[in-house]
Structure 1
Amino acid sequence: MIDSAFLDFHRAGIRISIIGDTSMLHKSLQELIDKAVKTTKENSQLHVVIAVNYSGQYDVVQACQTIAQKVKDGIIEPEDISSFLVEQELQTNCTDFPCPDLLIRTSGELRLSNFLLWQLAYAELFFSHSHWPDFGEAEFLEALCSFQQRQRRYGSQGS
């Protein structure tokens, strides 16, 4: 049943990527996830990124560990480390657009909850009191209108 669902994704041109730590999942589920990712990796119609046991802090730490190993192995020098290099080692590097422009946070929470910490550095934030299952068209349009009215400065001072 699940294998046929992945084949449906594949036929529809949908690419599946996983971010997070799947090591604690049952081995058969890890194998199924790996098969889905490999089967759909060349698809380009739609890219679905699924966060499984994802932590923004873990993402940054694993990127640093990978870079540290490259320094240790002599592949790069410490002075080669840059924000661009760190971003290349983050799990969200699996997408063409690893840094969102807009984060919509539902359920009235006013926090990021350890989600995409690096990637949200210059994102605009929109907070909605609607809970996720009830978040609908009206709230979505409100978020988009709010986003359109903002002046994006990406860290520089406004005029």
Structure 2
Amino acid sequence: ALVASQRAGIDLNWDTAQAIDLAGRDVLDAVRTSVYPKVIDCPDPKRTTGTLDAVAGDGIQLCARARVTVRTNIAQLIGGATEETVIARVGQGIVQAIGSTPSYKKVLENPDFISKIVLSQGLEGNTAYEIVSIDIADIDVGENIGARLMADQAEADMRVAQAKAEQLRADQT
């Protein structure tokens, strides 16, 4: 690992390599990922088969998957948060960005818009990785949550009106 880091021009001394190893991390893998960034899926397909679901401002649900390219940050590797934290933060950022968009159409027209918003949030703070890029791999339209909520509200209003009408009939007799 030390030889590979020297050849790659990465500043890694023996003490740092030992500390990385004692922290339970693979030193050679860390050096490789620092030189050749790796791609991680968000959400992690090993843990879930789902998507990142968010509702845009107009009530339309969007289901997204992203691919995050990361490079090891050797200086933060010891004590830095892991890949799972990066996945969680990016997922939260995507959901938040979609939720703050006024219309689902804007997201579908330009998915890179979401990537740029998430990248600008500096999510890699205190993690073992530097986020190189975030690419929206897939985005699908889900349910019309807004319409469903309006229909549920209309049904509730109708029940209240029926109850009041029955109360009036009962009072008149």
TM-score (norm 2): 0.25
Give the structure with the larger helix fraction: 2
Structure number with greater CO (CA < 8 Å, separation at least 6) is 2
Structure 1 or 2: more strand by fraction:
2
